[in-house]
Amino acid sequence: MGRRRGEVQILTNILTLSLKGVKATHLMYKANLSYSTLRKYLSAALKNGLIRKVCNNDGSTVYFITEKGKLVLEKLRDVECVLKF
Q: Tell me the domain boundaries of the chain.
A: 7-83
Contacts from 42-47 at CB under 8 Å and sequence distance 24+?
A: 42/14, 45/11, 45/14, 45/15, 45/69
What dotted CATH number matches 7-83? 1.10.10.10
Q: What is the DSSP letter of 54?
A: E
Q: What is the pLDDT of residue 85?
A: 58
At residue 5 the predicted structure's pLDDT band, cuts being 50, 70 and 90, is confident
Which residues pair with residue 43 across a beta bridge? none
pLDDT digits (tens, 9 = 90+) for 31-81: 999 999 999 999 999 999 999 999 999 999 999 999 999 999 999 999 888
At residue 1 the predicted structure's pLDDT band, cuts being 50, 70 and 90, is very low
Contact yes or no for 61/54 (Cβ under 8 A): yes
